[in-house]
């Protein structure tokens, strides 16, 4: 359906107004935040296999810091969050892949600071460059179609901070409540952060489970994306945890042989074992097919965008440049092309980087494909739920297939395949964050070319710190399984998975049957007229992640019925503002938790360190309540949802 919202849309700052934007103080403050949030995200990703979006917390911090410094314009605050957000997104791509070098044959020789820096820099800048020609098609032409929840929430935060008064209070109410909620839950352990019920093996749903990571940021994301997309995602999670896992358990409990890629009998597996050995590969196949369908559907707008960009390049006379509005100016396409060529040469010519010219071309091809997919995914579900690891798995599968066809099956090719996947992973992660930032800029009236330059600065600043952080954590704690040499090793779960896939494919042991089943499931959804990508994302992610997003969508559904009118995604409503605060408060507290996880407060009887969170969670109310702790957690989350509902149905005039 044709969308004409972009023709009528008016940003907060008029395109004809020129106010301070790309200033020295904004650039410096953004780079500082990029370093801080990037380093914290590295630890969190290696510890638990996920990161939190940094754009909104940085926007909140930018507003507060600038007020202490004598205030600044909304566009300066936007530049700060744009530059700073690059740190978190690049860090996510780095920790999901590059530590896998340590688990591959001969890969440890490439796990040096220079190699980490080059891989992170190449992926981060490619993510920015490839998003530039997509901005008009995804951000402008599909305004009103793709919600870009975190980008929209970030714009609400910036506008609320600019207006002040009661409008800003809605955001800070959400931020404060989310901070208090997560402080009491995740740090002091007053209730569980993930209530769960696992059905017995003899029940009607053997080994099935229901769970929810009851965090305020996921509730806020669910409210912003709305009930339809949240429901489709939840359906994918239900398929994995209440259909596939019970089905595999039911059929496999009587088997007396081990079914690859499992390493033990199905009757001896927990529900998490079955997910890791079987269902996760099905989910990866579903995401791969969903990504292909997304690319096919987006191809006309991509072609149109490139055609428009080259037309602008050919007609770049002084008159045409002067007539172009400030909010329509991007980095010229010629710089995108030469930038990509320069990165190919950099990867190829630098010594001891396991990338040759052929694999560098593969990086560009796969990188552009998954940058497109990633940018559209985050437009639907937000950066925090972007299945970067699923897209990386698809890249590694395709890369290894090409290697197999060329006869590159020796151990020496494992690090090369990983480097292709890592650069694509980093590019996809940063492209998702870049598209959210450009959405924020579109709503507030920023200048795209200045944001794009700021993003490149953010990548350069953050990768310097990320490389050092990864090396320091490896030398002090180690990655992978806990051993006598590394008793406090960080698990690096995503990187372990990537290494497993590369070894499996190059040794002809990848379970292709499971991958193809996942692709067939996505095909069924497309034939039913349902967007397979949102469904596949739900099937790949843990049910504990999709269920609170679905609950947030339900809150919006109930609020819309109460108000008998739907709130447009660009409108500043009470529910959207409060949800923005929930996302910001939850994300900020997540960063604090990452720091506290590394803070040793005492040692146990075996001389193992106990960090701040472990100490207080183990001694909190949760440890004394047993199963009743689940009910307490659900009650607390229900109370948070009710508060969101009350804000959402408050009268619009209360905002003025």
Residue 1 has pLDDT above 50, yes or no: no
Per-residue pLDDT band for 306 (boundaries 50, 70, 90) equals low
Between 214 and 2, the more confident residue is 214
- For helices 388-406 and 357-381, give the axis angle rounded to 10 degrees: 150
Q: pLDDT above 70 covers what percent of the chain?
A: 84
Residue 62 has pLDDT above 70, yes or no: yes
Residue 405 has pLDDT above 60, yes or no: yes
Least confident of 19-33, 229-243, 284-298, 330-344: 284-298
Between 98 and 190, the more confident residue is 98
Q: Please give the pLDDT value at position 257.
A: 92
Q: Please give the pLDDT value at position 41.
A: 81
Domain range enclosing 281 = 5-655
Q: Please give the pLDDT value at position 6.
A: 44
Least confident of 131-135, 506-510, 535-539, 644-648: 506-510
Cα dist. 609→182, 258, 488 in Å? 24, 38, 8
Q: pLDDT above 90 covers what percent of the chain?
A: 26
Per-residue pLDDT band for 218 (boundaries 50, 70, 90) equals confident
Domains: count for the chain: 1
Q: Please give the pLDDT value at position 246.
A: 95
CA angle at 338 for the pair 337 and 341, rounded to the nearest 5°: 90
Q: Please give the pLDDT value at position 260.
A: 85
Q: What average pLDDT does the segment 12-22 reach?
A: 89
Per-residue pLDDT band for 554 (boundaries 50, 70, 90) equals very high
User: % helix / strand / coil in the chain, to the nearest 5?
Assistant: 75, 0, 25
Q: Give CA–CA dist 69/258, Å, rounded.
A: 64
Q: Please give the pLDDT value at position 578.
A: 86
Residues counted in the chain: 656
Beta bridge partners of 442: none
Q: Outline where 70-111 has alpha helix (H).
A: 74-97
Burial class (CB in 10 A: 0-12, 13-18, 19+), 202: exposed
Q: Please give the pLDDT value at position 309.
A: 55
Q: Please give the pLDDT value at position 4.
A: 44
Residue 315 has pLDDT above 60, yes or no: no
Per-residue pLDDT band for 538 (boundaries 50, 70, 90) equals confident
Q: What average pLDDT does the segment 127-137 reach?
A: 89
Residue 312 has pLDDT above 60, yes or no: no
Q: Please give the pLDDT value at position 301.
A: 62
Q: Please give the pLDDT value at position 145.
A: 77
Please tell me whether the peptide bond between 573 and the residue prior to it is cis, using omega within 30 degrees of 0. Answer: no
Residue 459 has pLDDT above 50, yes or no: yes
Q: Please give the pLDDT value at position 496.
A: 78
Least confident of 135-139, 147-151, 542-546, 587-591: 587-591
Q: What average pLDDT does the segment 322-351 reach?
A: 84
Burial class (CB in 10 A: 0-12, 13-18, 19+), 254: exposed
3-state secondary structure 367-385: HHHHHHHHHHHHHHHCHHH
Residue 571 has pLDDT above 50, yes or no: no
Model confidence pLDDT, tens digit, residues 179-189: 999 888 877 77
Between 85 and 571, the more confident residue is 85
Model confidence pLDDT, tens digit, residues 23-55: 999 999 999 999 888 887 887 778 756 676 778
pTM: 0.76
CA-based nearest residue to 89, from 140, 131, 61, 143: 131
List of E strands, 490-629:
600-603, 609-611
Q: Please give the pLDDT value at position 569.
A: 40
Q: List, as one string, the DSSP characters of 182-222.
A: HIIIIIS-SS-SS-EEE--TTSSSTT-EEE----HHHHHHH
Q: Please give the pLDDT value at position 168.
A: 60
3-state secondary structure 318-339: HHHHHHCCHHHCCCCHHHHHHH
Residue 433 has pLDDT above 70, yes or no: yes
Model confidence pLDDT, tens digit, residues 232-248: 999 999 999 999 999 99
Q: What average pLDDT does the segment 446-460 reach?
A: 94
Least confident of 151-155, 262-266, 304-308, 586-590: 304-308
Q: Please give the pLDDT value at position 622.
A: 56
- Average pLDDT over all residues of the chain: 82
Between 609 and 71, the more confident residue is 71
Model confidence pLDDT, tens digit, residues 373-386: 888 878 877 776 66
Residue 321 has pLDDT above 90, yes or no: no
Between 175 and 310, the more confident residue is 175
Q: What average pLDDT does the segment 452-459 reach?
A: 95
H or E element that contains 100: none
């Amino acid at each position: 359906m044709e969308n004409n919202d972009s023709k009528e849309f008016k940003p907060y700052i008029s395109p004809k107004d020129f106010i301070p934007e790309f200033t020295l103080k904004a650039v410096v403050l953004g780079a500082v935040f990029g370093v801080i949030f990037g380093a914290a995200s590295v630890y969190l990703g290696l510890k638990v296999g996920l990161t939190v979006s940094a754009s909104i917390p940085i926007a909140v911090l930018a507003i507060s810091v600038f007020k202490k410094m004598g205030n600044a314009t909304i566009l300066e605050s936007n530049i700060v969050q744009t530059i700073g957000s690059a740190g978190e997104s690049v860090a996510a791509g780095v920790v999901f892949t590059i530590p896998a070098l340590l688990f591959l044959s001969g890969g440890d020789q490439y796990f040096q600071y220079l190699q980490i820096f080059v891989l992170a820099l190449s992926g981060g800048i490619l993510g920015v460059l490839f998003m530039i020609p997509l901005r008009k098609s995804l951000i402008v032409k599909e305004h009103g179609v793709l919600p870009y929840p975190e980008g929209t929430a970030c714009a609400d935060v910036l506008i609320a901070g600019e207006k002040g008064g009661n409008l800003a209070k809605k955001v800070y109410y959400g931020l404060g409540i989310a901070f208090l909620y997560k402080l009491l839950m995740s740090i002091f352990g007053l209730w569980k952060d993930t209530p769960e019920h696992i059905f017995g093996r003899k029940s009607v749903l053997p080994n099935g489970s229901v769970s929810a990571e009851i965090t305020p940021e996921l509730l806020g994301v669910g409210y912003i994306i709305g009930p339809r997309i949240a429901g489709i995602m939840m359906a994918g999670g239900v398929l994995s945890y209440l259909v596939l896992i019970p089905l595999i358990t039911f059929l496999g409990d009587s088997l007396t042989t081990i079914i690859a890629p499992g390493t033990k009998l199905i009757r001896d597996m927990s529900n998490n074992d079955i997910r890791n050995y079987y269902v996760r590969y099905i989910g990866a196949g579903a995401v791969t097919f969903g990504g292909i369908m997304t690319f096919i559907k987006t191809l006309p707008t991509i072609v149109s965008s490139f055609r428009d960009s080259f037309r602008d390049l050919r007609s770049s006379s002084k008159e045409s440049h002067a007539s172009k509005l400030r909010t329509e100016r991007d980095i010229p396409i010629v710089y995108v092309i030469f930038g990509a060529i320069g990165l190919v040469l950099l990867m190829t010519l630098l010594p001891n980087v396991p990338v040759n010219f052929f694999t560098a071309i593969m990086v560009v091809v796969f990188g552009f494909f998954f940058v497109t997919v990633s940018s559209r995914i985050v437009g639907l579900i937000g950066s925090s739920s972007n299945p970067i690891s699923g897209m990386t798995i698809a890249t590694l599968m395709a890369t290894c297939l090409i290697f197999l066809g060329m006869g590159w099956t020796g151990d020496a090719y494992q690090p090369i395949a990983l480097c292709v996947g890592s650069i694509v992973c980093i590019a996809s992660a940063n492209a998702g964050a870049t598209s959210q930032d450009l959405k924020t800029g579109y709503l507030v009236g920023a200048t795209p070319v200045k944001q794009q330059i700021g993003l490149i600065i953010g990548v350069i600043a953050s990768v310097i710190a990320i490389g050092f952080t990864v090396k320091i954590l490896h030398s002090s704690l180690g990655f992978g399984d806990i051993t006598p040499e590394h008793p406090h090793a960080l698990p690096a779960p995503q990187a372990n998975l990537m290494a497993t896939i590369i070894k499996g494919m190059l040794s002809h042991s990848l379970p292709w049957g499971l991958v193809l089943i996942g692709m067939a499931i996505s095909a069924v959804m497309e034939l039913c007229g349902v967007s397979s990508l949102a469904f596949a994302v739900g099937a790949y992610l843990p049910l504990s992640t999709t269920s609170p997003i679905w609950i947030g969508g339900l809150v919006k559904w109930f609020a819309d019925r109460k108000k008998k009118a739907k709130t447009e995604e660009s409108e500043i409503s009470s529910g959207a503002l409060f949800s923005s605060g929930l996302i910001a408060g939850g994300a900020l507290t997540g960063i604090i938790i990452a720091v506290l996880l590394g803070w040793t407060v005492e040692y146990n009887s075996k001389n193992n360190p106990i960090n701040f969170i472990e100490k207080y969670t183990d001694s909190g109310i949760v440890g004394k309540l047993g199963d009743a702790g689940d009910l307490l957690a659900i009650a607390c989350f229900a109370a948070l949802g009710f508060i969101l509902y009350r804000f959402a149905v408050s009268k619009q005039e209360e905002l003025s």
